[in-house]
């Protein structure tokens, strides 16, 4: 079932949590609401769930308007940030709660709960209480409980926020596989861009109650709509420079190729760590002279932290491990930093 | 297992105190407790039983007015607790779950019965329901007797014991938050289903604790009840009023017998409270199920 949000606004006192937000979630997709804290992502999720009433605007499930419907009648599955499991009930009763309030017969409840226990791989733990489970197990119980009554929509608020790094990654991959199996329209809130990119079909980036950009992960990553999105999506190097019709001029770099821009003004120039390269000698090439101060491996890549010899600014470069070995780069070495790609944004995003 | 720091004896934490200071403080505290609480309580029992068990039993059951006062107190206290139970849950819910204008004022108002003299509280009810009071004429015209009757006794007792359940519930409800309740609603529960199946089980120990305290205070209430009861023996005398009356009439055996029973009821309450404290510490209970 598709979800449409039209011009939704919500205020808490003087705080504008949502400001005329509109978006569409196609049926069967998994969408991530991504943004820093206070960006309105959780409020948007709660408005969609019916746990919060918007001051203005409408929410539609398929073609049906549900804005004034209570959460109870919307048949959504909601997974809370801290799970909100019923602590006085066993795992079995937690999962079966949505069915028992709907007056399902006992045998059918047992059948459905067992099915879900199998799905979340917690068979045999149905008699436990929430405080006897690990964080990851609680999270899965919360998910099973939300899925029990076969909701039309699954909403998850920071679903992996309270888990440690390893369990986080396992669970998010499991969530993706689960989604591929059951195809329920799902929206989850996160502040972690890796998580959003790893799991979602579409990413919606929010800031200060507004949508900054939405689209498939690759598109958002490749073509960030503005400086905020660029900055938020990961570590980025910031240089001062000017944009001209022939391309950006980065202060310090002598000549850098980039996308030509129309406006002629002083600007901040953003370069992703992966769009910089390291060479032994500049040999008149456009670039900065830098000294390696730190090398950290991060998954498949290596992060090289350098110091610009002129401005003493820090520069971060990402490269693959093989190339680092081949070039024999070590801490303390003086090298040249050359850009492959740079990106310029207009000043109204500079605060 | 994380080591519980509360189990470390005090002398390990503060080594600096000289022994004589410790000894002085401990003896002082225990001495005051013994003189102010221990001796009087023991004395009540001593006086009650000084003529033997049989005399004790006769003093209690031989007097119809005394028996009636026991029955009256035992019937008023649960009704006052019930009223406060309903009010307490509703008020705690409002305060813990919502932010509304006048919330702070409302909280202060809840504490009023603790600050105000019970005699003054009793006077309020006389002003409200007495013949010259606001509702007096109307009540009289409809043949309703509030003042001097059980309704007034229940009302006055409820007023005096009002803060106990609310004050117990607010921190419990605030500690466990509203997420479980919202989860219940999002899973399709109605308001009542949510209350009975989620809210009530979560607050049950806090609620019971509040009820016990409320009951203890209700049984011992004297001042407010004194103002509005009429003090007619065998009609509207409660246990504390009856104790006072027997004492004034120099029926020491009867006064002490009834006083010992009242004390015993308080001790039972205290025992229950201590038992609950140990078994279900309210604050740890409310943290369960989180992280």
Q: Which tens digit of pLDDT belongs to each residue from A78-127? A: 999 888 999 999 999 999 999 999 999 999 999 999 999 998 888 889 89
Complex-level ipTM beyond the 0.90 threshold: no
Question: How would residue A178 be classed by pLDDT, with cut points 50, 70 and 90?
Answer: confident
pLDDT tens digit string along B168-195? 999 999 988 888 999 999 999 998 999 9
Question: How would residue B288 be classed by pLDDT, with cut points 50, 70 and 90?
Answer: very low
Question: How would residue A242 be classed by pLDDT, with cut points 50, 70 and 90?
Answer: low
> Stretch A47-76: mean pLDDT, rounded?
89
DSSP state of B119: H
Higher local confidence (pLDDT), A290 or A242: A290
Of B176, B188, B198, the CB nearest to A98: B188
Q: Taking CB atoms and an 8 Å limit, are B186 and A77 in contact across chains?
A: yes
Higher local confidence (pLDDT), A264 or A226: A226
Q: How far off is chain B from A148, nearest CA to CA, in Å? A: 9
Question: How would residue A350 be classed by pLDDT, with cut points 50, 70 and 90?
Answer: very low
Could you say which of 2.60.120.280, 2.40.50.100, 2.40.10.10, 3.30.1060.10 is the CATH number of the domain covering A235-346? 2.40.50.100
pLDDT tens digit string along B4-57? 444 555 555 556 778 888 899 999 999 999 999 899 989 888 888 888 888 888
> What tokens does B44 get?
């009540």
pLDDT tens digit string along B63-84? 888 888 899 999 999 999 999 9
- B residues 166-195 closer than 8 Å to A (CB): 176, 179-180, 182-190, 193
Mean pLDDT of chain B: 84
Distance CA B58, CA A246 (A): 112
Distance CA A187, CA A179 (A): 11
CATH classification code of B52-287: 1.10.3720.10
Radius of gyration of chain A from its Cα atoms, rounded to whole angstroms: 24
pLDDT at A348: 44
Q: Taking CB atoms and an 8 Å limit, are B187 and A85 in contact across chains?
A: no
Question: How would residue A342 be classed by pLDDT, with cut points 50, 70 and 90?
Answer: low
pLDDT tens digit string along A127-177? 999 999 998 899 899 999 999 988 989 999 998 877 888 888 888 888 898
Distance CA B150, CA B147 (A): 8
Residue A265 in this model has a pLDDT that exceeds 60: no
Q: Taking CB atoms and an 8 Å limit, are B289 and A98 in contact across chains?
A: no
pLDDT tens digit string along B245-262? 888 888 888 888 899 998
Of B182, B189, B290, the CB nearest to A101: B189
Q: Where would I find the beta strands (DSSP E) of chain B?
A: none
CATH 3.40.50.300 maps onto chain A at 3-231
Higher local confidence (pLDDT), A5 or A285: A5
Q: Taking CB atoms and an 8 Å limit, are A131 and B184 in contact across chains?
A: no
pLDDT at A347: 46
pLDDT at A246: 56
Distance CA B129, CA B141 (A): 12
> Stretch A334-348: mean pLDDT, rounded?
69
Query: Is B291 touching A (CB cutoff 8 A)?
Result: yes
Q: B80: closest CA among B91, B68, B72, B92?
A: B72
pLDDT at A261: 42
CB pairs under 8 A between A and B: 75
**What is the percent of chain B with per-residue pLDDT over 70, rounded to a whole number?**
91
Q: Taking CB atoms and an 8 Å limit, are B182 and A80 in contact across chains?
A: yes
Residue B287 in this model has a pLDDT that exceeds 50: no
Residue A263 in this model has a pLDDT that exceeds 50: no
> Stretch A246-267: mean pLDDT, rounded?
51
> Stretch A238-250: mean pLDDT, rounded?
63
Using an 8 Å CB-CB cutoff, list chain A residues near B198: 86
Using an 8 Å CB-CB cutoff, list chain B residues near A135: 291
Distance CA B162, CA B111 (A): 8
Q: Taking CB atoms and an 8 Å limit, are A84 and B182 in contact across chains?
A: yes
CATH classification code of A3-231: 3.40.50.300
> What tokens does B10 get?
């005090």
Q: How far off is chain A from B95, nearest CA to CA, in Å? A: 18
Of B193, B201, B202, the CB nearest to A101: B193
Q: Taking CB atoms and an 8 Å limit, are B290 and A71 in contact across chains?
A: no
Q: Taking CB atoms and an 8 Å limit, are B289 and A85 in contact across chains?
A: yes
Distance CA B222, CA B240 (A): 6
Q: How far off is chain A from B83, nearest CA to CA, in Å? A: 27
For A52, name the nearest residue in chain B, comparing CA atoms only.
B182
Of A77, A86, A162, the CB nearest to B291: A162
Higher local confidence (pLDDT), A139 or A313: A139
Put simply, whether the predicted model's pTM sits higher than 0.80 gets the answer no
pLDDT at B15: 62
Distance CA B212, CA B31 (A): 28
Query: Is A71 touching B (CB cutoff 8 A)?
Result: yes
pLDDT at A277: 84
Query: Is A301 touching B (CB cutoff 8 A)?
Result: no
pLDDT at A267: 64
Query: Is A130 touching B (CB cutoff 8 A)?
Result: yes
pLDDT at A300: 76
Residue A8 in this model has a pLDDT that exceeds 90: yes
Using an 8 Å CB-CB cutoff, list chain A residues near B201: 86, 88
pLDDT tens digit string along A321-340? 888 888 888 888 888 888 77
Residue A292 in this model has a pLDDT that exceeds 80: yes
CATH 2.40.50.100 maps onto chain A at 235-346
For B200, name the nearest residue in chain A, comparing CA atoms only.
A88
Q: Is the CB of residue A346 less than 8 Å from the CB of residue A267?
A: yes
Q: What is each CA distance from A233 to A268, A328, A351, in whole angstroms?
A: 17, 30, 18
Using an 8 Å CB-CB cutoff, list chain B residues near A75: 188
Using an 8 Å CB-CB cutoff, list chain A residues near B175: none
Report the residue of B181, B182, B188 to disrupt the A interface, i.e. the one with the largest count of A CBs within 10 Å.
Answer: B188
Residues 6+ apart with CB under 8 A from A227: A268, A270, A345, A349, A350
Question: How would residue A253 be classed by pLDDT, with cut points 50, 70 and 90?
Answer: low
Phi, psi of A246 (to 5 degrees): -85, -10
Q: Is the CB of residue A277 less than 8 Å from the CB of residue A256?
A: no
- For chain B, helix, strand, coil in percent to 5 are 80, 0, 20
Residue B242 half-sphere exposure toward CB, CA atoms < 13 A: 31
Distance CA B251, CA B264 (A): 20
């Amino acid at each position: 079932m598709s979800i449409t949000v039209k011009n939704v606004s919500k205020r808490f006192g003087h705080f504008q949590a949502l400001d005329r937000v509109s978006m569409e979630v196609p049926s069967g997709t998994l969408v991530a609401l991504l943004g820093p804290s206070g960006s309105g992502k959780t409020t948007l999720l709660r408005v969609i769930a019916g746990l919060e009433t918007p001051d203005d605007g409408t929410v539609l499930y398929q073609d049906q308007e549900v804005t004034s419907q209570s959460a109870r009648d919307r048949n959504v599955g909601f997974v809370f940030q801290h799970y909100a499991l019923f602590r006085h009930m066993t795992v079995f009763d937690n999962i079966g709660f949505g069915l028992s309030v709907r007056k399902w017969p006992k045998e059918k409840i047992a059948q459905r709960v067992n099915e879900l226990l199998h799905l979340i791989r917690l068979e045999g733990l149905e008699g436990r209480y929430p405080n006897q489970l690990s964080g990851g197990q609680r999270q899965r119980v919360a998910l099973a409980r939300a899925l029990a009554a076969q909701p039309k929509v699954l909403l998850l608020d920071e679903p992996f926020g309270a888990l440690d790094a390893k369990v986080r990654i396992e669970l998010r991959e499991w969530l993706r596989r689960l989604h591929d199996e059951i195809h329920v329209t799902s929206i989850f809130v996160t502040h972690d861009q890796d998580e959003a990119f790893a799991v979602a079909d579409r990413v919606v980036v929010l800031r200060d109650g507004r949508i900054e950009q939405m689209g498939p992960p690759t598109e958002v990553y490749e073509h960030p709509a503005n400086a905020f999105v660029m900055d938020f999506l990961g570590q980025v190097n910031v240089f001062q420079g000017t944009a001209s019709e022939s391309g950006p001029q980065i202060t310090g770099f002598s000549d850098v190729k980039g996308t030509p821009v129309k406006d002629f003004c002083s600007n901040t120039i953003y370069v992703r760590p992966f769009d910089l390269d390291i060479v032994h000698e500049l040999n008149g090439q456009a670039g900065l002279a830098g000294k390696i101060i730190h090398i950290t491996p991060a998954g498949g890549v290596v992060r090289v932290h350098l110091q610009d010899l002129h401005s003493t600014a820090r520069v971060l470069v990402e490269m693959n491990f093989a190339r680092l070995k081949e070039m024999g780069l070590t801490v303390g070495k003086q090298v040249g930093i050359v850009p492959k790609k740079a990106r310029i944004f207009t000043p109204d995003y500079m605060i | 297992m994380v080591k519980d720091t509360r189990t470390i004896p005090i002398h390990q934490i503060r080594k600096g105190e000289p022994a004589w200071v410790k000894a002085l403080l401990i003896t002082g505290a225990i001495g005051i407790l013994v003189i102010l609480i221990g001796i009087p309580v023991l004395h009540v029992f001593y006086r009650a039983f000084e003529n033997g068990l049989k005399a004790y039993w006769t003093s209690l059951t031989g007097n119809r007015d005394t028996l009636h006062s026991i029955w009256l107190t035992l019937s008023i206290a649960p009704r006052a607790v019930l009223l406060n139970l309903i009010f307490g849950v509703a008020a705690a819910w409002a305060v813990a779950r919502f932010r509304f204008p006048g919330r702070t004022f409302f909280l202060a108002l809840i504490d009023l019965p603790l600050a105000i003299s019970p005699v003054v509280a009793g006077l309020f009810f006389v002003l409200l329901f007495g013949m010259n009071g606001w509702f007096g004429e109307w009540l009289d015209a409809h043949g309703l007797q509030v003042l001097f009757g059980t309704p007034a006794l229940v009302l006055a007792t409820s007023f005096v014991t009002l803060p106990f359940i609310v004050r117990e519930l607010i921190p419990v409800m605030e500690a466990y938050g509203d997420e479980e309740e919202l989860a219940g609603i999002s899973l399709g529960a109605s308001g009542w289903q949510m209350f009975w199946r989620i809210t009530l089980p979560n607050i049950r120990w806090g609620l019971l604790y509040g009820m016990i305290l409320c009951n203890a205070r209700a049984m011992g209430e004297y001042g407010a009840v004194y103002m509005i009861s009429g003090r007619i023996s065998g009609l509207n005398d409660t246990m504390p009023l009856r104790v006072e009356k027997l004492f004034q009439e120099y029926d020491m055996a009867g006064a002490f017998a009834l006083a010992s029973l009242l004390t015993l009821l308080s001790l039972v309450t205290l025992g229950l409270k201590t038992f609950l404290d140990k078994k279900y510490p309210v604050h740890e209970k409310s943290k369960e199920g989180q992280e």
